[in-house]
Copies of this chain bind each other. A is one copy, B any other.
């Protein structure tokens, strides 16, 4: 019997279901946040919707016990794969004290969790890229065997930090994998008014590094590309730049109205390629996902999201005076 696509990529049936489940969890948390936003319960959402395949495909190709990551604001899928829980995310959405990302100090989407090696992120785009390079440099200096994985949007590849960070990584052949989630828009600005090159991965040539463009709607294709990049990095063959072509299925954020700058038809068309749908179809076709399993996963995910939401909604805010803490290291008293 010929191997199906995920088996060919070295992914077991169990793993592939785990991937699907994580994608679905990301999607469902995201959808719930929009509901909470629209009903006035949380002030802000920024979405992963449409980019789950790229995020989960990539994360599963990494060593999630060893590798480090510097995600960007849409990377709900990445941080879930790296060990953050739905509860953690909801605590952040509600800005509650227990939020492990920031104790409610930052907007949702500003991830960070030391125990899972998720670097703390900020709002100005692309600043995380040199950080990931720095982690890779540290790993190389310390002779540790891990890679550093950083993501950003295609618009963000036009920041100086992209260029400076990747050139540094290229010169020193550091074990860092940069994945650009090209969702074709930077807020309202489409790719061709944003990025002068024909695609993003060709920019790898500027840094003497391996570069490739993959279908970001296909978690297996992304998995394979990241797996290869990781091997290169571990073998001392240096950094890689991977472009995962996706589409942003929602408005830029809960503050945006995308109808002013893109056609409804375009969004509708992209929705037909929604990675959650296409992946579940594939899994069904390859016999891994049965209706029974699907139902089980759905209800499990539903339960997780409900529980996380309830918990977070009930959880307390930080005290007002907590705003004064942790400006500098505090000496134990």
Contact = CB atoms under 8 A, between A and B. Distances in A.
Nearest to A162: B163
Given A205-B202, A206-B202, A170 B158 contact: no
A78 interface: no
A171 interface: yes
A68 to B, nearest CB: 21
Interface string A50-71: 0000000000000000000000
A103 interface: no
A192 B208 CA distance: 11
B164 A159 contact: yes
Contacts of A205: 197, 202-203, 205-206
Contacts of A170: 196-197
A197 B168 CA distance: 11
A257 to B, nearest CB: 25
Contacts of A163: 158-160, 162-164
A197 B202 contact: no
A209 interface: yes
Nearest to A164: B160
A205 B197 CA distance: 6
Contacts of A206: 196-197, 202-203, 205-206
Interface of A: 158-164, 166-171, 192-198, 202-203, 205-209
